[in-house]
A and B are shown apart, each in its own frame.
Chain A
Amino acid sequence: MRYRDIQLDENGRLRHFLSIEGLKRQMLMDILDYAENFITVGGRSIKKVPLLRGHTVTNLFFEPSTRTRTTFELAAKRLSADVLNININTSATTKGESLLDMLRNLEAMHCDMFVVRHAQSGAAHFIARHVAPHIRVINAGDGSHAHPTQAMLDMFTIRRHKGEFADLRVAVVGDILHSRVARSQIHALTTLGVHEVRVIGPETLLPQRVEELGVHVYHHLPAGLEGVDVIIMLRLQRERMQGALIPSEREYFELYGLTEEKLAFAKPDVIVMHPGPINRGVEISSEVADGPRSVILEQVSNGIAIRMAIMSMIMGNRFGSEEEEQ
């Protein structure tokens, strides 16, 4: 119990944003509601609100990323924060010692928020536990553990298309074993109370006892897609062939690639999501990725609004849009 709720302050408000697990349904709904306020900001000629004026946000990326880093940067800038991007070659800083030293240095530069991506599960928790008390930490992806802002933007996208969560059947397809996105999505979906969450993949890409996360396991794509409202495709890392987890991309696509044909097993109004970047012809065909059921690009724009909402909330801004004027 020692480390429970490290992301909440003593009043139960968000201090850090590290994982979906441990957050209550109402908290997730508040984030989604709050994010609605920021959707319009991106469409205006002046795309800024002054909520984080005078604050410094540091993007601390120990792993390469283009989209996530860019959307965080845009989100921070649209909140009028100063943004510092630090990309660190992981091989140069494998020691925790230098990681902590780096944090101390950044603290000395009076940063207010760290947005952290790291190849190790638990890295964001580790950083949150060791930063000065006034500093806020957002997890932008840690190892195979969590990617909570991605999950929230996915929930946001689902809600915009489907309204209520309660009756939905959602399928998450592919490499669940290594996916931080999948873990966060599963926690978000079960917390928001969807009717059913399914994971679909070969046994080699499913973690042990994954059903304890509250999901149903399917090994065959057509059966798993039967009657679902939302399909979330996961990226297949090319290096998975080396671990003897799948034989080839060709065979993977044959079994788990999402094609128009497979899509027909789902509900007619199904939406297709993907956290990106897409491997066309590996986990998804171009016809589906670019087709009418795909909301993949919408996910990206929603990512900015969600990240603005979360950054703003953990810096102590609460609900209402009264401050939202330029």
Chain B
Amino acid sequence: MKIRIHGGRLIDPASGLDEIGTLCVADGRIVAAGESPEPFTADREIDASGLVVCPGLVDLQARLREPGQEHKGTIESETAAAAAGGITTLCCPPDTDPVTDTPAVANLIQELARRAGNTRVLPIGAMTPGLRGEQICEMFILSQSGCVAFSNAERAIVNTEVLRRAMEYAATHDLTLFLRPQDPWLSANGCAHEGAVSTRLGLRGIPGFAETMEVARLLTLAEQTGARIHLGPLSTARAIQMIGRAQYDGLPVSASVSAHHLHLTELDINDFDSRAYLRPPLRTQRDREGLHRGLVRGVIGAICSDHQPHDIDAKLAPFAESEPGATAVETLLPLSLRLADHGVLSLSEVIAALTWRPARILGIPAGTLSPGAAADICIFNPERYWTVAPETLVSQGHNTPLMGWELKGRVTHTLLEGRLVYQLKG
């Protein structure tokens, strides 16, 4: 199968490409970007006039809910949603049920993803069996079974000795650790940023320093052990400063942030809107600006979706009793594009934070349009407006604080290894 995508604006931050041109795909690989090779007879032409053609998005954190919570989402439903959002590679955290702490679960996830055929799914393995934080998992065997990184998901490893050994072990085998910094004591039972809004609404707060306290612990251990760590999704300006300094000191630490935290603040909780109940919590405007600065300075490498689809009942409860998280794979790109519209980043920088930079964090050869690379391609209309509504979402979950928002930028085609896995209707 040969495909020619013509007339579009090709943006490939990995190679510095940004021009109107033609992209040629053959046998699931990119054969040329810019000029059409002679002779190239395409089986299929895609007219991308007025559209942007970029690498398929690489999402560092999306929960697919399978195995274990299929009433919230399945690998099939959520990878279809991801494809509709232009994502061609995504990582799913290990807090499945059962936990992704054995090759069997990792294999199951990949097998189901292959069958669905919508996106590439890279499982993140558990650092500790059952995420209990007591022992370390068979990280090497799990990495052989396709786990691209290791994490303890939302559960902090309280025992610092276990954490140290896990880091040392990961460093020994050159494995990446994904850590979500939040002090378990300071955040216990909390559901909103501890500040003006939590005070007004009488909600139990999670202070900003619940994040920085844990960042400090993790950076200290990373320095000791030499482990390659990735921190995210982050929520505070101060954490970004700390990580920036550690990067300056040469520590192999990377960072990510969810698109929601780049746009929303604690004020979006309004009067107990459970759709804005996220973890980490939405924080202050100052934090949001700090996250923007972190992106500009390159401290934050990647923007992720932190996709967490829910069933309807999960959000139908008083705020603190509802479940945190938002469905997000389909709003990742348009939300991120607002950064370019608002002049925070250039369009090419936004795309970099969604493609080759997260790919580099994972150490995988994705997120580029370079000839020879897998033809994972996202084509979107940067000027097209659409309204977030249950009928415009593919995800099984409709829980988003953006419900009813008009967003700019819509994916029109997604190709996975040269195969059209999504095309916008109408």
Contact = CB atoms under 8 A, between A and B. Distances in A.
Interface in A181-218: 183, 207-210, 212-213
B195 A94 contact: no
Given A122-B319, A145-B203, A180-B202, 18 more contacts: A2-B404, A4-B271, A21-B200, A95-B313, A95-B317, A95-B321, A96-B313, A120-B319, A121-B203, A123-B318, A126-B317, A126-B318, A143-B202, A144-B203, A207-B199, A208-B196, A209-B195, A209-B196
B385 interface: no
Contact of A208 (B205, B320, B321, B404): B205
B341 interface: no
Contacts of A95: 313, 317, 321
A145 B205 contact: no
Chain B: interface size category: 20 to 34
A122 B272 contact: yes
Nearest to B191: A121
Interface in A119-133: 120-123, 125-126, 130
B198 A208 contact: yes
A125 B204 CA distance: 17
Given A121-B203, A122-B203, A207 B198 contact: yes
B207 interface: yes
Contact of B319 (A1, A121, A180, A210): A121
A143 B320 contact: yes
Contact of A94 (B194, B274, B321): B321
Enumerate the 8 nearest inter-chain pairs by beta-carbon distance, A residue then B residue, closest first: A96-B317, A122-B272, A144-B202, A145-B202, A120-B318, A207-B199, A123-B318, A121-B202
A121 B318 contact: yes
Contacts of B143: none
Chain A: interface size category: 20 to 34
Given A99-B317, A121-B319, A143-B320, A2 B273 contact: yes
Nearest to A178: B202
A96 B204 CA distance: 18
Interface string B7-44: 00000000000000000000000000000000000000
B208 to A, nearest CB: 10
Given A96-B322, A97-B316, A6 B271 contact: yes
Interface string B265-278: 00000111110000
A213 to B, nearest CB: 7
A6 B271 CA distance: 9
7 contacts: A95-B317, A96-B317, A122-B203, A122-B271, A122-B319, A130-B316, A208-B207
B195 A121 contact: no
A146 interface: yes
Contacts of A183: 200, 202
A100 interface: yes
Contacts of B158: none
B141 interface: no
Contacts of A97: 313, 316-317
Nearest to B199: A207
B273 A3 contact: yes
A207 to B, nearest CB: 4
Given A2-B270, A3-B271, A121 B199 contact: no
B201 A212 contact: no
Contacts of A96: 313, 316-318, 321-322
B186 to A, nearest CB: 12
Nearest to A130: B316
Interface string B106-136: 0000000000000000000000000000000
A118 interface: yes
Nearest to A184: B202
B264 to A, nearest CB: 13
Residue from B201, B202, B205 with most neighbouring chain A CB atoms (10 Å):
B202
Contacts of A207: 198-199, 205
A121 B270 CA distance: 13
Dominant secondary structure of chain B at its interface with chain A? loop
A21 B202 CA distance: 13
A130 B312 CA distance: 14
Contact of A120 (B195, B271, B320, B404): B320
Contacts of B196: 208-209, 212
Contacts of A120: 318-321
Contacts of A180: 202
A106 to B, nearest CB: 16
Residue from A118, A120, A122, A183 with most neighbouring chain B CB atoms (10 Å):
A122
Given A144-B202, A208-B205, A122 B195 contact: no
A183 B196 CA distance: 12
Residue from B203, B205, B322 with most neighbouring chain A CB atoms (10 Å):
B203
A237 to B, nearest CB: 14
B199 A208 contact: yes
A63 to B, nearest CB: 12
Nearest to B311: A97
Contacts of B270: 1-4
Residue from B200, B207, B273 with most neighbouring chain A CB atoms (10 Å):
B200
A212 to B, nearest CB: 5
Interface in A93-126: 94-97, 99-100, 118, 120-123, 125-126
A199 to B, nearest CB: 11
Contacts of B322: 96
A146 B202 contact: yes
Nearest to B312: A97
Contacts of A212: 196, 199-200
B187 to A, nearest CB: 14
Contacts of B201: 121-122, 145
A125 B319 CA distance: 10
A95 B313 CA distance: 9
Contacts of A99: 317-318
Nearest to A144: B202
Contact of B199 (A6, A122, A146, A210): A210
B227 to A, nearest CB: 33
B205 A126 contact: no
Residue from B195, B273, B321 with most neighbouring chain A CB atoms (10 Å):
B321
Given A2-B270, A208-B205, A100 B321 contact: no
B193 to A, nearest CB: 9
A118 B318 contact: yes
Contacts of B321: 94-96, 120
Nearest to B207: A208
A306 B207 CA distance: 38
